[in-house]
């Protein structure tokens, strides 16, 4: 893993890094033009998906990313259905522009912020992250996003802000999965303020150098790469700074199976299956599983966040 080298994002030559990214996409066959997107994404899912100007982020894995097709057609997004291909088939109903995020709680700059006002002031970074789902499958995904500390500092959280609570859009007309009581809607997730302010945490706005397709959580989603995928809340409409730990959707639905922290930990099994090994999507049904890495391979960066915490009880 490449760690921060002391160069800040605004000191990186934007044009050269942008061109390098474009070369990378060509080499991986993912920038054949609009025809490629149309071949991969059905109907309205191509609407609004556009190229982003980015710089190379300071953190990335050297592992080969999964393909655009794998990243955009194999998803967990229960608001559009519980099968892995449901989001790709059903998310065309989501309207992502205009989009507003309500910021509230223990901060000095609460308010309703338009998507453009949140994103425009920030340099967007390309970061290739491991992505680990609780069902023991994994991907390597080239996300584009805003480092969460940079975004949250804009709202000036105060000393009472111990946690950050996120909420997904609730609109059963646009999100047909919300018509079923699979979970208590709307979807809610949360982080400690230390986790949210860690430089690895991203507010993601794109993937593979393009804006997020709906099925991947457009227009704003969270990525915390050392945690299981369900922490990566999608289509965010609310951010709240709180004094008390928020009760999250999966924690409320199945507390024995899904805890608040949800750190990738091969030593703590899910009650119904082992988490010690994982299957990389794209390797085929008979591909050998690989060992799960502690904190999804980011232990050197985030282990100190949990010093003294019993990770078996705080799963």
HEC string of 281-293 equals: CCCCCCCCCEECC
Structure tokens at 285: 């049904």
Question: What percentage of the chain carries pLDDT values higher than 90?
Answer: 82
Q: How many CB atoms lie within 10 A of CB 275?
A: 19
Is beta strand 236-242 parallel, antiparallel or unpaired with respect to 100-105?
A: parallel
What pLDDT, on a 0 to 100 scale, did the predictor assign at position 30? 42
Structure tokens at 282: 């794209």
Determine the 3-state secondary structure of 22 from DSSP.
Answer: helix
Q: Is the pLDDT of residue 75 over 60?
A: yes
Q: Is the pLDDT of residue 190 over 80?
A: yes
CB neighbour class for 34 (10 Å; exposed up to 12, middle 13-18, buried from 19): exposed
Q: Where are the alpha helices (DSSP H) in the chain?
A: 14-27, 34-40, 68-73, 86-90, 115-119, 148-153, 193-196, 249-253, 299-302
Angle at 53 between CA 175 and CA 164, to 5 degrees: 50
Q: Is the pLDDT of residue 292 over 80?
A: yes
Integer Cα distance of 228 and 216 in angstroms: 15
Fold annotation for 9-306: Sulfite Oxidase; Chain A, domain 2 (3.90.420)
Determine the 3-state secondary structure of 192 from DSSP.
Answer: strand
Query: Residues 216-273: pLDDT tens digits?
Result: 999 999 999 999 999 999 999 999 999 999 999 999 999 999 999 999 999 999 999 9
Q: How many CB atoms lie within 10 A of CB 304?
A: 9
pLDDT-based confidence at residue 288 (cuts at 50, 70, 90):
confident
Q: How many CB atoms lie within 10 A of CB 188?
A: 21
Query: Residues 93-143: pLDDT tens digits?
Result: 999 999 999 999 999 999 999 999 999 999 999 999 999 999 999 999 999
CB neighbour class for 62 (10 Å; exposed up to 12, middle 13-18, buried from 19): exposed
Say which DSSP state 225 is in: T
- Per the document, the length of the chain is 315
Lowest mean pLDDT among 21-35, 156-170, 175-189: 21-35
What pLDDT, on a 0 to 100 scale, did the predictor assign at position 25? 46
Lowest mean pLDDT among 49-53, 184-188, 300-304: 49-53
What pLDDT, on a 0 to 100 scale, did the predictor assign at position 304? 98
Structure tokens at 30: 């993912």
CB neighbour class for 179 (10 Å; exposed up to 12, middle 13-18, buried from 19): exposed
């Amino acid at each position: 893993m490449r760690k921060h080298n002391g160069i800040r994002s605004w000191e990186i030559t934007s044009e050269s890094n942008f061109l390098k990214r474009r070369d990378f996409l060509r080499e991986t066959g993912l920038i054949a033009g609009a025809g490629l997107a149309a071949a991969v994404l059905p109907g309205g899912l191509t609407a609004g998906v556009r190229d982003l100007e980015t710089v190379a982020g300071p953190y990335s894995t050297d592992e080969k990313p999964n393909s655009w097709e794998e990243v955009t057609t194999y998803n967990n997004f229960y608001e559009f259905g519980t099968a892995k291909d449901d989001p790709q088939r059903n998310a065309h109903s989501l309207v992502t522009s205009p989009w507003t995020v309500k910021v509230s709680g223990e901060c000095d700059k609460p308010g309703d912020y338009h998507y453009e006002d949140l994103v425009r002031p920030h340099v967007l970074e390309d970061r290739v992250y491991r992505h680990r789902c609780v069902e023991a499958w994994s991907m390597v995904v080239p996300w584009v996003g805003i480092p969460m500390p940079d975004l949250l500092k804009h709202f000036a959280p105060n000393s009472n802000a111990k946690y950050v609570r996120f909420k997904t859009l609730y609109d059963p007309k646009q999100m047909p999965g919300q018509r079923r009581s699979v979970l208590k809607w709307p979807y809610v997730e949360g982080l400690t303020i230390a986790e949210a302010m860690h430089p690895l945490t991203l507010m993601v706005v794109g993937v593979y150098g393009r804006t997020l397709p709906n099925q991947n959580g457009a227009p704003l989603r969270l990525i915390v790469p050392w945690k299981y995928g369900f922490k990566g809340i999608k289509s965010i409409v609310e951010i709240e700074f709180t004094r008390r730990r928020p009760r999250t959707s999966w924690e409320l639905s199945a507390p024995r199976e899904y805890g608040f922290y949800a750190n990738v930990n091969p030593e703590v099994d899910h009650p119904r299956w082992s988490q010690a090994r994982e299957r990389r999507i794209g390797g085929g049904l008979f591909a050998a599983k690989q060992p799960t890495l502690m904190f999804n391979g980011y232990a050197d960066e985030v282990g100190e966040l949990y010093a003294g915490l019993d990770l078996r009880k705080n799963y």
